[in-house]
Amino acid sequence: MLYLDGNSLGRLPLGTINAVRSVVEEEWAHELVLGWDHWIGLGETIGDRLAPLIGATAGEVVLSDQTSVNLYKVASAALAGTGRTIIVTDRGNFPSDRYILDAVARSAGGELRFISEDPTLDDLAAALDASVGVVSLSHVGYRSGVMLDGAAMTAVAHDAGASMIWDLAHSAGSVPVALNEWNADLAVGCTYKYLNGGPGSPGFLYVRSDLLEQLEQPIPGWFSHADQFAMSETYEPARSIRRFVVGTPPIISLVAAGVGIDMTAEAGIDAIRRKSIELTSLFTEGLTSLRHHGLVQITPADPGSRGSHITVSHPRGYQISQALRAQNVIPDFREPDLVRFGFAPLYNTYAEVERALEILESILTTEAHATFPEARGRVT
Ligand SMILES: Cc1ncc(COP(=O)(O)O)c(C=O)c1O
Contacts (Cβ under 8 Å, ≥6 apart) of 234: none
Task: Return the ∠ at Cα 163 (arms to 161 and 167), rounded to 5°.
Answer: 150
Amino acid at 204: F
Q: What is the mean pLDDT of residues 343-367?
A: 97
Among 74, 82, 89, CA closest to 224: 74
- Whether residue 273 is predicted with pLDDT greater than 90 in this model: the reply is yes
Cα of 361 vs centre of ligand 1, distance in Å, is 31
- Whether residue 377 is predicted with pLDDT greater than 90 in this model: the reply is no
Cα of 192 vs centre of ligand 1, distance in Å, is 10
Closest atom, ligand 1, to C-alpha of 8? 14
Among 325, 311, 302, CA closest to 380: 325
Q: In what order do the strands lie in the sheet with 163-167?
A: 61-63, 204-207, 186-189, 163-167, 132-138, 86-90, 111-115
Q: In what order do the strands lie in the sheet with 332-334?
A: 296-297, 309-313, 338-342, 332-334
Residue 195: which pLDDT band, with cuts at 50, 70 and 90? Answer: very high
Q: What is the mean pLDDT of residues 328-353?
A: 97
Amino acid at 206: Y
Q: Residue 114: what pLDDT?
A: 98
Q: Residue 379: what pLDDT?
A: 86
Q: Residue 20: what pLDDT?
A: 98
Tell me how far apart the alpha carbons of residues 246 and 5 are, in angstroms, rounded to a whole number. 31
Q: Residue 200: what pLDDT?
A: 97
Q: What is the mean pLDDT of residues 335-345?
A: 96
Cα of 288 vs centre of ligand 1, distance in Å, is 30
- Ligand 1 test: best mutation among 9, 68, 194, most atoms within 8 Å of CB? 68
With a Cβ cut-off of 6 Å, ligand 1 is lined by: 66-68, 94, 96-97, 138, 142, 167, 169-170, 190, 203
- Whether residue 378 is predicted with pLDDT greater than 90 in this model: the reply is no
User: Would you say 189 and 171 are in contact if contact means Cβ atoms under 8 Å apart?
Assistant: yes
- Whether residue 362 is predicted with pLDDT greater than 90 in this model: the reply is yes
- Ligand 1 test: best mutation among 8, 64, 67, most atoms within 8 Å of CB? 67
Residue 375: which pLDDT band, with cuts at 50, 70 and 90? Answer: confident
Contacts (Cβ under 8 Å, ≥6 apart) of 302: none
Closest atom, ligand 1, to C-alpha of 68? 11
Catalytic positions, written as ranges: 94, 167, 192-193, 340
Cα of 67 vs centre of ligand 1, distance in Å, is 6
Q: What is the mean pLDDT of residues 124-153?
A: 98
Tell me how far apart the alpha carbons of residues 245 and 256 are, in angstroms, rounded to a whole number. 19
Closest atom, ligand 1, to C-alpha of 69? 11
pLDDT digits (tens, 9 = 90+) for 296-310: 999 999 999 999 999
Q: What is the mean pLDDT of residues 160-189?
A: 98
Q: What is the mean pLDDT of residues 151-179?
A: 98
Closest atom, ligand 1, to C-alpha of 190? 10
Domains and CATH numbers, the chain: 14-267 (3.40.640.10), 268-368 (3.90.1150.10)
Atom 7, ligand 1: residue with shortest CA distance: 67
- Whether residue 313 is predicted with pLDDT greater than 90 in this model: the reply is yes
- Whether residue 343 is predicted with pLDDT greater than 90 in this model: the reply is yes
- Ligand 1 test: best mutation among 190, 194, 205, most atoms within 8 Å of CB? 190
Atom 15, ligand 1: residue with shortest CA distance: 169
pLDDT digits (tens, 9 = 90+) for 274-288: 999 999 999 999 999
Q: Residue 73: what pLDDT?
A: 98
Contacts (Cβ under 8 Å, ≥6 apart) of 28: 35, 251, 252
Q: Residue 100: what pLDDT?
A: 98
Contacts (Cβ under 8 Å, ≥6 apart) of 67: 96, 167, 169, 188, 189, 190, 203
Cα of 306 vs centre of ligand 1, distance in Å, is 18
Q: Residue 380: what pLDDT?
A: 82
Atom 14, ligand 1: residue with shortest CA distance: 8
Atom 8, ligand 1: residue with shortest CA distance: 67
Closest atom, ligand 1, to C-alpha of 193? 14
Residue 148: which pLDDT band, with cuts at 50, 70 and 90? Answer: very high
The C-alpha R_g of the chain, in whole angstroms, comes to 21
pTM over 0.85: yes
Tell me how far apart the alpha carbons of residues 102 and 162 are, in angstroms, rounded to a whole number. 16
Tell me how far apart the alpha carbons of residues 307 and 310 are, in angstroms, rounded to a whole number. 8
- Ligand 1 test: best mutation among 94, 137, 168, 174, most atoms within 8 Å of CB? 94
Cα of 98 vs centre of ligand 1, distance in Å, is 11
Task: Return the ∠ at Cα 362 (arms to 360 and 365), rounded to 5°.
Answer: 110
Closest atom, ligand 1, to C-alpha of 93? 1
pLDDT digits (tens, 9 = 90+) for 39-93: 999 999 999 999 999 999 999 999 999 999 999 999 999 999 999 999 999 999 9
Atom 13, ligand 1: residue with shortest CA distance: 169
Cα of 69 vs centre of ligand 1, distance in Å, is 10
pLDDT digits (tens, 9 = 90+) for 100-111: 999 999 999 999
Average of per-residue pLDDT values in the chain: 97
